[in-house]
Amino acid sequence: MNAATAPSKIALVTGAGTGIGRACALALLREGWGVVLAGRRAEPLQQTLAEAGERAANALAVPTDVGDPASVKALFAATRERFGRLDLLFNNAGAGTPAMPLEDLTYEQWKAVVDVNLTGAFLCTQEAFRLMKAQTPQGGRIVNNGSISAHAPRPFSAPYTATKHAISGLTKATSLDGRAFNIAVGQIDIGNAATDMTERMARGVPQANGSTMVEPRMDVQHVANALLHMASLPLEANVLTMTVMATQMPFVGRG
Which residues are known catalytic residues?
Answer: 160
Furthest-apart CA pair in the chain: how many Å?
A: 55
Nearest to 43, CA basis, from 57, 27, 22: 22
Burial (Cβ within 10 Å: 0-12, 13-18, ≥19) of residue 110: middle
